[in-house]
Copies of this chain bind each other. A is one copy, B any other.
Amino acid sequence: MPRAGLDAATVTEAAADLADEIGLARLSMSLVAERLGVKTPSLYKHVDGLASLTHRVAVLGATEVGDRLRDAVQGVSGGEALAAAAQALRLFVKEHPGRYAATTGARPAGPDDPLGPALGRTLTSLEAVLRGYGLAEADRIHALRMLRSVLHGFATLEAGDGFQIDTDVDASFLWLIDFVDLGLRARASS
């Protein structure tokens, strides 16, 4: 029996891909093992169990989403940055619904949990977007939460087939970005 040469990262990535394909809820140790050409108990040499594996997928997803947002916001500002960040997040959720579900369903388990910083990177990029609007100090946190809410809400509704297909979802998303942009600009110097 030749060795498969697995480690925690490979197992996590296989699990993440599988979750994207079949949905996080249907993720199972046996399916991950099957995909890796290995018997189920072998996974426990690299990963602590299904709950722990799901947590690792969450960290992976948070990191990747953070990367995407950082890249999207890089070099642009204002409404352009808002649109870029929004589209990047939406695209990620569409491409990786399983990772995103794991990410949003997980909470940091302690002060040294890598999930905390990973999630923080997303917030950092969104804060950078908002910085371009010159909001009052007191509005910042509320605007950030509003921004997270719209983007998260739209992306998850779309990923869950929550919108009827007959009207263009892309157009709605552009409209939404414009709506938020206008609202933020109105609050710019008030």
C-alpha gap A163/B146 in the complex (Å): 11
| CB of A183 to closest CB in B, whole Å | 5
B25 & A161 in contact (Cβ 8 Å cutoff): no
A145 contact set on B, CB distance < 8 A: 154, 157, 163, 169, 172, 176
Complex: chain B residue closest to A154, CB-CB: B149
Contact residues in B for A162 (Cβ distance below 8 Å): 104, 148
Residue A175, interface by CB 8 Å: yes
Stoichiometry (number of copies): 2
State in angstroms the CA–CA spacing of A146 and B181 once bound together. 13
Q: A117-129 toward B: CB 8 Å interface, digit per residue (1/0)?
A: 0000000000000
Interface residues in A, total, Cβ within 8 A: 35
- A179 and B146 contact, CB distance less than 8 A: yes
Check A141 against B167 for contact (C-beta < 8 Å). Answer: yes
Q: Are B161 and A107 in contact (CB under 8 A)?
A: yes
A139 within 8 A of B: yes
Q: Which residues on the B side are within 8 Å of A154 (C-beta)?
A: 145-146, 149, 153
Chain B residues within an 8 Å CB radius of A139: 175
